[in-house]
Structure 1
């Protein structure tokens, strides 16, 4: 029975962010229930049990969440129906009696956010609020981890970001912040944390730092919105995905990823990692 498993549940343990959180919790001696789609991929951790479900399968999710008090919910992989998956999972958590959800949201979450996926994060937050469960929202800025992967074959990052800035945060800092909340969730009920790095960066400056830190010749080329859609057309991606890609940059141009928060330090007691420092760190 799922109710016999640990009452702290962690999603995403087979991927980057959730995997770091699960390992950190295990290292700190916490028992946890790893919610996975494929149990063969679950990490082998001390005091960790597994339960099988997916976000979109409400019946399996409700069964897997039976007896859970605190749930760490990593946002699902980008998909056209991601919001429907989130709603099904949140509803299943509430039906299973989960008391507190810690959700990884996005820094600019709002119903009218420029970044299209930030609207989905806001809607997910609202669904959690309306569920009656306690909540803590971790609103993460743009992941520093993604930046080096955004270059094309010529080492160019292209997009309509203009001179806008973002306050990119390392996935490692998000994970450490999540662990801090999960270690003592009661004091974080009803809180929303804005997780940023220690600096505001334009894409042009980020490209310079990546060049300096890696020895690669990386540059930023500003595009118009029309040019951005045209340059991404060869990928034959669905419209929702193109909109998400392009609006990542237009959200920066609009100032919706700017601003530095002290919440990473407040939660972890450590300064957040800068882009230059991130480039020197081993992959977790």
Structure 2
């Protein structure tokens, strides 16, 4: 029965962020249910209910969300239908009686965001607002965790970031921030937090830091936007993927991701990890 189930739900339970938040909730003894595309793969304690669902399947999602009051909604995997799928899931949350959504958005999300996938996040934020739900938006900068994957086999980071700067955040700091909110969501209703690391970095700074920490030579080569899109097409990416990848760098070039926020420290009581400290911690 839904009335016997925890009223806090966490999506993306098999992913890095959702899984990290779920572990903290379990360690703190806070009852919650876990939602994931593949429920059998969720590493959950026996007492934690697990539901399989797809953001695109409204009826299934309603059943999984019945009795939920607070929902931690990790944004769906990048795909050309993400905005529509997330609208469907938000509608399912409304149908199920969810009261408060904590959604992982993107720094500076807007309708004309240079980063095309940032527009998806804006669309989801606006849809959550339009449905009258209490909400908290976590607008993350790019994750420090993914930056090593930007390096090509030749040791070069290529992209149209020019000399722009950005303030990448460790995924663990986002998880810690989300956990603090989910422990007591009501004081955060209506809030939008920008989650960044402690420093504004250029791509050359990223390359230099990777070189220093890993001992492998990494450099940065600035491309034009057209060159970047074409290189991704040539590598076999679909059009939407090529444009999304290239515009993620282009957003850095504009400087719109350069602001350093103190929201992580305000939420967690601990300063966020620098990129170098993150690399050294995970080694």
What TM-score do the two structures reach when normalised by structure 1? 0.97
| Counterpart-to-counterpart distance in 2, 1:185 and 1:194 | 17
Conserved 8 A contact 1:31-1:46: no
For residue 230 of structure 1, report the CA deviation from its aligned partner.
2.4
Q: Deviations over 1:62-89 (max 9, x none)?
A: 0100000000000000001011110000
SS in 2 for 1:157: strand
For residue 46 of structure 1, report the CA deviation from its aligned partner.
6.1
Gaps of 5+ in 2: none
For residue 153 of structure 1, report the CA deviation from its aligned partner.
0.5
| Counterpart-to-counterpart distance in 1, 2:188 and 2:46 | 26
SS in 2 for 1:111: coil
| Counterpart-to-counterpart distance in 2, 1:166 and 1:46 | 41
| Counterpart-to-counterpart distance in 1, 2:38 and 2:228 | 37
Conserved 8 A contact 1:26-1:47: no
1:57-72 correspondence runs (5 A): 57-72=57-72
Conserved 8 A contact 1:3-1:68: no
| Counterpart-to-counterpart distance in 2, 1:46 and 1:208 | 45
Conserved 8 A contact 2:230-2:242: no
| 1:22/1:137 CA distance change after superposition, 3 Å | same
SS in 1 for 2:280: coil
1:96-245 correspondence runs (5 A): 96-245=96-245
For residue 3 of structure 1, report the CA deviation from its aligned partner.
3.9
Conserved 8 A contact 1:13-1:34: yes
Q: For this pair of structures, how many residues does the alignment match?
A: 283
Conserved 8 A contact 1:23-1:45: no
Point out the more displaced range, 58-67 or 232-241: 232-241
1:55-94 correspondence runs (5 A): 55-94=55-94
For residue 235 of structure 1, report the CA deviation from its aligned partner.
2.1
What TM-score do the two structures reach when normalised by structure 2? 0.98
Point out the more displaced range, 95-104 or 221-230: 221-230
| Counterpart-to-counterpart distance in 2, 1:250 and 1:209 | 21
Gaps of 5+ in 1: none
| 1:3/1:60 CA distance change after superposition, 3 Å | farther
| Counterpart-to-counterpart distance in 2, 1:189 and 1:230 | 43
Q: Which residue of 2 aligns with 1:270?
A: 270
SS in 2 for 1:220: strand
| Counterpart-to-counterpart distance in 1, 2:211 and 2:54 | 40
SS in 2 for 1:59: helix
Q: Deviations over 1:80-99 (max 9, x none)?
A: 10111100000000111000
| 1:182/1:147 CA distance change after superposition, 3 Å | same
Q: Are 1:15 and 2:15 matched, yes or no?
A: yes
| Counterpart-to-counterpart distance in 2, 1:129 and 1:269 | 29
Conserved 8 A contact 1:30-1:47: no
For residue 232 of structure 1, report the CA deviation from its aligned partner.
1.6
| Counterpart-to-counterpart distance in 1, 2:18 and 2:257 | 23
For residue 234 of structure 1, report the CA deviation from its aligned partner.
2.3
The alignment yields a C-alpha RMSD, in angstroms, of 1.1
Conserved 8 A contact 1:106-1:118: yes
